[in-house]
Structure 1
Amino acid sequence: MKYPQHLVFGLDIGTRSIVGTVGYKERDKFNVVAQYVKEHDTRAMMDGQIHDISKVGDTITFVKQKLEEQIGRELTEVCIAAAGRVLRTVTVTAHYEFAEETIVTPEHIYSLDLLGVEKAHDEINANNETDINFYCVGYTVVKYYLNNYIMSNLENHKANKISAELIATFLPEEVVSGLNTAVGMADLEVANLTLEPIAAINVAIPQMYRMLNIALVDVGAGTSDISITKDGSIIAYGMIPHAGDELTELIAKNCLIDFKSAEKIKFNLSSKKKIITYKDIIGNSIKMPHSELQELVNPMIENITQEIAKKIIELNGGKSVSAVFVVGGGGKIKGFVESLSKYLNLPKERVALRGEEVLGDINFFQKEIKKDPLLVTPIGICLNFYDQKNNFIFVNFNGERVKLYNNNRLTIVDVAIQTGFPNEELFPRRGKELNYKINGKSRMVRGELGEAAIVTLNGLPVGINTLIEANDKIKIMGSTFGEDAKITIDKIPEFSNTIDILVEDKKIKCPQYAEVNGQIVSNYYSLQNNDEVVMRNYYTVAQILEFMDVEIDFNTEIFVNNKPADLDEKVYENFTINWTFKSSESYEKENVNEAVQSGQNHEENEVWKEDKLEQNEEIVNLNITVNKKAVTLKGKNKYVFVDIFDWIDFDLRNSKGREIVTLLNGEKTKYTQELHAADRVEIYWKE
């Protein structure tokens, strides 16, 4: 073969033209074996951004074919660079601590860099007030630290902690997507993507010069990209949207010519011609003195260089730099470097075009190629491949092209983390948990597990820890939630099904019941979040009678564990309940006893009894209020509380496990309590 098996194909997709370069690195030299330049037929790109993807794709295809003819082989991969039209930069510091003192490996350094890039990405997202998604197109390490001390190279050192201060550069995803689509139309895969100022500085300012505070300005057609070095590192990147096209447009408007003709005149300004000849759109042949044309563009040159100077000072912490290197076609126009030196307050010799001087280690096989500032960025794009090839791979993740920092052990999980795919969607997710209290103690029920994520690699199902390679196609369908936690009363451990009670010497199994938030519920009630459950281990006498469908009247005397009891008496497991029916005579005696207990003396009780016996011979009507409604009791010579139920609409069998509340003149009362005229009665179920 004429050339080594692997050739690097670099493509500088500029606003005015596309430059294709093919070559290979041999020791410290880069050999350019083929190069081709093609100007856009239309203004398919403006200010460094693709406006007409199809047109740009056609031009890339044409350049690729011309290069393939020169080298005699097919090109399938390409290195490209993005312009900084809407560039965002973030400076961050990342740290990586070892459990014990460890020898630092390249993998540790890549991991540290990745932490920094992820941190920068988080910062971009946190401060992003737009709908634009930003894509990391490159990063530059400013300084490495070994155990908090600055170290130029961490590899093979022993460390407890390593750190990196780096600048990460971001562009909107649509800018990167447009570039990828355009090269894809030429049947090319992107092998490496960088930023134009990063590519340019790798050629224009070698590492040995970066101890100095130098600015590099790449003046293109649509943008002027800026990078600054200091103390051995690149400390800042920036851009202004002013460059050579503004001069071309000015010439076109004033000379009444088309854009391409204006471009030729602009280039002639850099020549020694005293008279510049052109034809305007009317067809007139015009001869214009070079000096007159120079006077026309000088104000625009002043404006552009003033803006560049302001940006340099801003990026350099509010002060000028020590020197400026200018590359790119836009900087070749006469008066540009002189004007820039003026606004930076630098001697003219400190601002210089860089072309042949920085391309000394570049060997061009095409002897007709002249080493020129125009070639700095295209060559830098190729060289950047060698700097980044062991660090980056591209994969397709859920339909999007993703750039990863490769440590030769990348898995699908790494891709998911890099792209911000939610970690919880990688693994089966539980439904919502259920929290409740049982007898005052907090308890929690977990939700069910859902389905695991569905992961495919190049169309085949795999696990999330599967290793990946460049250009793999990965798809992840997120895991699902399981069912939310649920539990019914009868499934609570404290629920014991029944309470056994002896009623009239027969064992009765009463179902246990629970109160939820103060309300009695069935055993099949499904608990809700934060419910408070009290599991009742007793029944009241009234509830047992209702459960057995037994009705009693005021002549019934109830005993619980052989002791007199009322309907509200609590009955627990294995308690006994019995009842007897009282005669009228015993009922009268009970009333007498109650009267005695009310505090009257013995003689008063005798008089009271005689009066009552006399009244027994008469039938009286008794007017009272029940639940604030007037009720008249009729047909008896005297009335007790239980008689009320014969005259009101109140179903004693409708308790549903609730206790009945009986109040007489605001006080709790018994069913046998005697009633008097104008008494106020309240009867209701306790909720």
Structure 2
Amino acid sequence: MTVFALDIGTRKVTGIIGYMDEDEILHVLDFETIEHPYRYMLDGQIHNIEGVAKVISTIKKRLEERNEVKLEEVAVAVAGRFLKTVTCELEMDVPMDFVDSDFVKQLELLALSKIPLSDQDGLELQCVGYSAVEYKLDGLWMKSLVGHRGKKAYVKVVAALLPNQVVDAMISTLKKVGLKPTFMTLEPIAALEITVPEDLRILNIALVDIGAGTSDIAISKAGFIVGYEMVPMAGDEITEALAQNYLLDFQAAEQLKRNLDSFESVETVTVTDKKVKIDREEAFKVIKPTVEVIAKQIAEKIVKLNNGSPSVVFLVGGGSKLSILRKELANCLQIPEERVSLKSVEQIQKVKSHKQGFVGSEYVTVSGIAYMAASGSGSIYDMVEINGQKVKLLRIGQGQTVLHALLQNGFNLSEIFGDFKPPITFKLNGEIITIPQRKLGGLKVFVNGVETPLYRRLKTGDVVITEKNNTEDDEQVLLSRYVKPYVAIVDGKEFAIVTPKVYVNGQVLEDLNYQIQEGDIVEVEKMDATELMKRFEENLQVVQFYLNGEKKQVKKHKLRLVEVKEDESQIKVIFQTEPVKIQDVIEDSKPIKIKLNGEEIILNRKNNLVVVNGNYVPVETPLEEGMEILFEPYKPIVADVLTMLNINPRRIKNYTLLVNGQKASFVQELKEGDEVTFQFEEKTED
């Protein structure tokens, strides 16, 4: 399965596509990196959604075209200067003979349910990643609980939180380019996951992902990831120091910074268009105060989170390439310089690139994102509704089940389960539906109006409703429960009711009181609102009129789809009527694109000439019975284009005028795609 991952950074965006083989090696098939043309992001957060979306769209299109794939789902990671971390713990009974992986996930999710939804200032927060830092079984420390037997299981987790606005901006940006975020994690988690494999996590390692806007930190110790932190300073501060000292624009200063470790001196151009040659050692003196501040802040965060200096520091990200920064960080942590190591993606055994150029520390994080998404580890967020309350679910692997969601939101096992009768299982539009018939307590659970088993996976937008089942339930499972009529509402009044066709085991069935049997295959016709609208428009009143002497007839009104509302019993398709206007029956006057002296311009057409019964009228005038319309569409000519050149005709001595390479006149009509060439010789002054 192809995985598409994006590392959306402060300075640039990188996208890769690849796959995971059976040996858990990530194969990178292709990649694309584009720098933001402007500062659309600051400190790791998206500020200009439209701008970032354009960059992502270009990367997506290039990868799709080169690899002949359609990219609809994406894995991403988030960062930001407002990162907060919290620790949660939970102990619960083991309701089985031994602990399996599903129970461990449930245990972790219940611990995460204790995460605060806002900080002390009321800022709403969202969990963007977590790690289990400790397990216990009956009070004894365990590295893993899976497969063990015991009575009580305990977990401690550390969770990373960001403001809702940061996550919402990421999701909104991806939706603008037609991408669904199916995997989301924290940037340092992704980098550490692929850089520090489990067998190395017994060592005390600090991983620092230094980008342009933030420096993100993750710590491993004793086999676990024990915490995350963030410093709101990184490569951009160094770039800005160079820009201010040498009077460079940001792009020139950024290029200077990137070349400092490769060349003894670098030539560049100042904002005053002056060429300068900058010596490396001189530039290092300029940036040293800024580097010291960044290194000090990173070191302080590491020491506080780790309760001391780590054994080793791994650096990734484009901002970590400066040797002066690595040296200063080692000095601040008081560890040997050789223990601060720059990690490049080509050094990582879990990554194999099939395309040249995929080298450097800047590709580690995006590889980690893809690796975690392909391996099924990490977290995904879905927004669902449970009994009228909006709930953010942390998805693990393939996503949370109904049972996980209920447990995470305060239900206990005794409330949910009861004694079961044999379930009825059938297929509804290709989906397997199992109806548990409970008695003596328990809950009925409905997802989007359909009674649903507890193991069903939830997705964004699902509506979950629970009902108490206090008495024995012998209710028949009727077909009518799953067939909703379409009710057309036009201008606030019920217009028509349409019942979709229903097939049971391949045969059309009109009796909706049919009792569904074990193994039935049910197909309910899905009716498109647009098709319903066309069907209803056939019954609308018509109007006759004359257009340039020709008799015509159209519907006097047209329907506009307002919304589709679905409840437990029906689907309301709501329409509003609008009068048909003159502009609906005349030629559409859209702008046209042409080229003038090789430059593409848009030529906006002027108002069309519309005369009704001898009088000029606007095109927004509604059609009326017997209306006589004279219409002549505006046709642009060469003279309209030449006005854009702002040329004084009195200064012209000779000229050449061509349209598509042929001689033309000023009144020649223009069409979409025409190329106009106008060259002239000016008169010389006396």
Please give the range of the TM-score, normalised by the shorter of the 2 chains. 0.5 to 0.7
CA deviation after TM superposition for structure 1 residue 21, in Å? 1.1
Partners of 2:376 and 2:398 within 8 A in 1:
no
What residue is the counterpart of 1:75 in the other structure? 71
Indicate how the Cα distance of structure 1 residues 241 and 407 shifts in structure 2: closer, same or farther if over 3 A, else same: closer
Q: 2: distance between equivalents of 1:292 and 1:344?
A: 25
Partners of 2:346 and 2:358 within 8 A in 1:
no
Superimposed CA distance per residue, residues 408-458 of structure 1 (whole angstroms, 9 cap, x where no aligned partner):
89555754665789x9xx9xxxxxxxxxxxxxxxxxxxxxxxxxx99985x
What residue is the counterpart of 2:61 in the other structure? 65
What residue is the counterpart of 2:348 in the other structure? 359
Indicate how the Cα distance of structure 1 residues 179 and 320 shifts in structure 2: closer, same or farther if over 3 A, else same: same
Q: 1: distance between equivalents of 2:276 and 2:397?
A: 62
Superimposed CA distance per residue, residues 563-610 of structure 1 (whole angstroms, 9 cap, x where no aligned partner):
xxxxxxxxxxxxxxxxxxxxxxxxxxxxxxxxxxxxxxxxxxxxxxxx
CA deviation after TM superposition for structure 1 residue 245, in Å? 0.3
Question: In structure 1, what residue type is equivalent to 2:258?
Answer: F
Q: Is residue 105 from structure 1 mapped to residue 94 from structure 2 by the alignment?
A: no
CA deviation after TM superposition for structure 1 residue 28, in Å? 2.7
What residue is the counterpart of 2:372 in the other structure? 384
Q: Is residue 315 from structure 1 mapped to residue 310 from structure 2 by the alignment?
A: no
Within the candidate set 144, 163, 169, 1:153 is matched to: 144
What residue is the counterpart of 2:524 in the other structure? none
Q: 2: distance between equivalents of 1:62 and 1:400?
A: 34
Superposition pairs of residues 265-414 of structure 1, within 5 angstroms:
265-271=256-262, 273-317=263-307, 319-356=308-345, 358-370=347-359, 372-388=360-376, 392=380, 394-397=382-385, 402-405=392-395, 414=404
TM-score by length of 1: 0.59
What residue is the counterpart of 1:253 in the other structure? 244
Partners of 1:306 and 1:340 within 8 A in 2:
yes
Within the candidate set 93, 96, 108, 2:89 is matched to: 93
Indicate how the Cα distance of structure 1 residues 256 and 473 shifts in structure 2: closer, same or farther if over 3 A, else same: same
What residue is the counterpart of 2:158 in the other structure? 167
Indicate how the Cα distance of structure 1 residues 267 and 464 shifts in structure 2: closer, same or farther if over 3 A, else same: same
Superimposed CA distance per residue, residues 492-527 of structure 1 (whole angstroms, 9 cap, x where no aligned partner):
xxxxxxxxxxxxxxxxxxxxxxxxxxxxxxxxxxxx
Superimposed CA distance per residue, residues 588-643 of structure 1 (whole angstroms, 9 cap, x where no aligned partner):
xxxxxxxxxxxxxxxxxxxxxxxxxxxxxxxxxxxxxxxxxxxxxxxxxxxxxxxx
Deviation >3 Å, runs of 4+: 386-421, 453-457, 462-472, 475-479
SS of equivalent residue, structure 2 residue 94: strand
Q: 2: distance between equivalents of 1:274 and 1:407?
A: 49
Q: 2: distance between equivalents of 1:337 and 1:408?
A: 39
What residue is the counterpart of 2:461 in the other structure? 473
Partners of 1:411 and 1:465 within 8 A in 2:
no
Indicate how the Cα distance of structure 1 residues 113 and 314 shifts in structure 2: closer, same or farther if over 3 A, else same: same
Q: Is residue 235 from structure 1 mapped to residue 226 from structure 2 by the alignment?
A: yes
What residue is the counterpart of 1:8 in the other structure? 3
Within the candidate set 191, 203, 209, 2:194 is matched to: 203
CA deviation after TM superposition for structure 1 residue 46, in Å? 0.3
CA deviation after TM superposition for structure 1 residue 277, in Å? 0.8
Superimposed CA distance per residue, residues 468-512 of structure 1 (whole angstroms, 9 cap, x where no aligned partner):
435352246999xxxxxxxxxxxxxxxxxxxxxxxxxxxxxxxxx
What residue is the counterpart of 2:110 in the other structure? 115
Partners of 1:114 and 1:405 within 8 A in 2:
no
CA deviation after TM superposition for structure 1 residue 345, in Å? 0.6
Question: In structure 1, what residue type is equivalent to 2:188?
Answer: P
Superposition pairs of residues 379-458 of structure 1, within 5 angstroms:
379-388=367-376, 392=380, 394-397=382-385, 402-405=392-395, 414-415=404-405, 418=408, 457=447
Gaps of 5+ in 2: 417-442, 468-686
SS of equivalent residue, structure 1 residue 18: strand
Superimposed CA distance per residue, residues 290-317 of structure 1 (whole angstroms, 9 cap, x where no aligned partner):
2211111111111110111111111112
Q: 2: distance between equivalents of 1:129 and 1:102?
A: 42
TM-score by length of 2: 0.60
Indicate how the Cα distance of structure 1 residues 454 and 42 shifts in structure 2: closer, same or farther if over 3 A, else same: farther
Q: 2: distance between equivalents of 1:328 and 1:103?
A: 42
Superimposed CA distance per residue, residues 51-87 of structure 1 (whole angstroms, 9 cap, x where no aligned partner):
0011111111111111112221101100000114211
Gaps of 5+ in 1: 1-5, 427-452, 480-687
Q: Is residue 214 from structure 1 mapped to residue 205 from structure 2 by the alignment?
A: yes
Aligned length: 436
Q: 1: distance between equivalents of 2:328 and 2:272?
A: 35
Within the candidate set 28, 38, 45, 1:49 is matched to: 45
SS of equivalent residue, structure 1 residue 320: coil
Indicate how the Cα distance of structure 1 residues 79 and 400 shifts in structure 2: closer, same or farther if over 3 A, else same: farther
RMSD across aligned positions (CA): 2.9
Partners of 1:110 and 1:407 within 8 A in 2:
no
Partners of 1:84 and 1:238 within 8 A in 2:
no
Question: In structure 2, what residue type is equivalent to 1:179?
Answer: M
Superimposed CA distance per residue, residues 534-567 of structure 1 (whole angstroms, 9 cap, x where no aligned partner):
xxxxxxxxxxxxxxxxxxxxxxxxxxxxxxxxxx
Indicate how the Cα distance of structure 1 residues 420 and 44 shifts in structure 2: closer, same or farther if over 3 A, else same: farther
Within the candidate set 254, 264, 288, 1:263 is matched to: 254
SS of equivalent residue, structure 1 residue 91: strand
Question: In structure 2, what residue type is equivalent to 1:365?
Answer: H
Superposition pairs of residues 120-131 of structure 1, within 5 angstroms:
121-122=115-116, 125=118, 128-131=119-122
The structure whose Rg is larger is 1
SS of equivalent residue, structure 1 residue 262: helix
CA deviation after TM superposition for structure 1 residue 45, in Å? 0.3
CA deviation after TM superposition for structure 1 residue 385, in Å? 1.2
CA deviation after TM superposition for structure 1 residue 396, in Å? 4.6
Superimposed CA distance per residue, residues 214-273 of structure 1 (whole angstroms, 9 cap, x where no aligned partner):
1111111010011111111111110110100001111111121211111101101121x2
Indicate how the Cα distance of structure 1 residues 400 and 70 shifts in structure 2: closer, same or farther if over 3 A, else same: farther
Indicate how the Cα distance of structure 1 residues 419 and 162 shifts in structure 2: closer, same or farther if over 3 A, else same: closer
Question: In structure 1, what residue type is equivalent to 2:113?
Answer: E
Q: Is residue 17 from structure 1 mapped to residue 12 from structure 2 by the alignment?
A: yes
SS of equivalent residue, structure 1 residue 335: helix
CA deviation after TM superposition for structure 1 residue 366, in Å? 0.4
CA deviation after TM superposition for structure 1 residue 395, in Å? 4.9
What residue is the counterpart of 1:646 in the other structure? none
Q: 1: distance between equivalents of 2:31 and 2:234?
A: 24
Indicate how the Cα distance of structure 1 residues 417 and 367 shifts in structure 2: closer, same or farther if over 3 A, else same: same
Superposition pairs of residues 578-597 of structure 1, within 5 angstroms:
none
Question: In structure 1, what residue type is equivalent to 2:260?
Answer: L
CA deviation after TM superposition for structure 1 residue 467, in Å? 5.8
